Amino acid sequence: MQLNDDRALVLLSGGQDSSTCLAWALARFAEVETIGFDYGQRHAVELTCRKTIRAALADPAAPFAARLPGRLGEDHMLELSALGAISDTAMTREIAIVASESGLPNTFVPGRNLLFATFAAAVAYRRGCRHIVLGVCETDFSGYPDCRDDTIKALQVTLNLGMETRFVLHTPLMWRDKAATFALAEELGGAALRDVILEHSHTCYVGDRSRRHDWGYGCGACPACELRAAGWRRYMAAGTAAGRAPRGDGRRPAPRRR
């Protein structure tokens, strides 16, 4: 299969991180497609949000359109109900969000990102997309092992060996916290793009879009809401201190002990 260096496939969930990654890809690649997964997630409202995000970023009249020149192409939605069926987690069941015996929150869905990346690579292979963009991060995250840089690097090697090709897995947010992710959105498309992501992306694990906060919609109490809220506060504080909106540099922090 001939892969095209100008084509990218973005894993778009409808959340803040993946929405920012879609903008990042549109700023860098001529042709960008998206892929999403319905696995019976508790916060399935994100699947509606991702459609709104796609429409907003594809709007030629948007004030940030010239800064994101890539063409937004086909969307691929895959149904992975088997993952939800075998996952006894707070992301797939109506249960309280707590820490498990391993120390990870019970929102961790074992194998989820491994499966997502594998299915994305299969689609990218068929569509001729060399670049696969994921919104995973190990700076502001809940400790999920499949979001770590080492995991993604290993996945890239495995996928390339298994498909005998040369995909490139990009993780633009790997070393950015949520404040820097808000800053990146503004860097890419100005306040207008940041506000689209603020208003229309969905992060809350319990799927609550009935409450609007200054950082977006959500229950305000789950780990995802707490991370997003704290990031928004840091982002705004940095902008106020500097007299402008902050800009994330994405620099890798010193290695952490695990």
Going by the annotation, the residues of the binding site for ATP are: 12-22
232-252 burial, b if ≥16 CB within 10 A, otherwise e?
bebbbebbeeeeebbebebee
Phi/psi at 42 (nearest 5 deg)?
Answer: -60, -35
**Tokens representing residue 144 in the block:** 């999920």
d(CA 24, CA 150): 22
- Longest CA–CA span in the chain (Å) reads 51
Q: Which residues are annotated as a binding site for Zn(2+)?
A: 204, 219, 222, 225
Residue from 134, 90, 102, 100 nearest 115 by CA: 134
d(CA 228, CA 235): 10
Indicate the burial class of 150 (C-beta count within 10 angstroms; 0-12, 13-18, 19 or more): exposed
d(CA 216, CA 193): 14
Radius of gyration of the chain (CA): 17
**Tokens representing residue 238 in the block:** 């940095």
**Tokens representing residue 8 in the block:** 């990218």
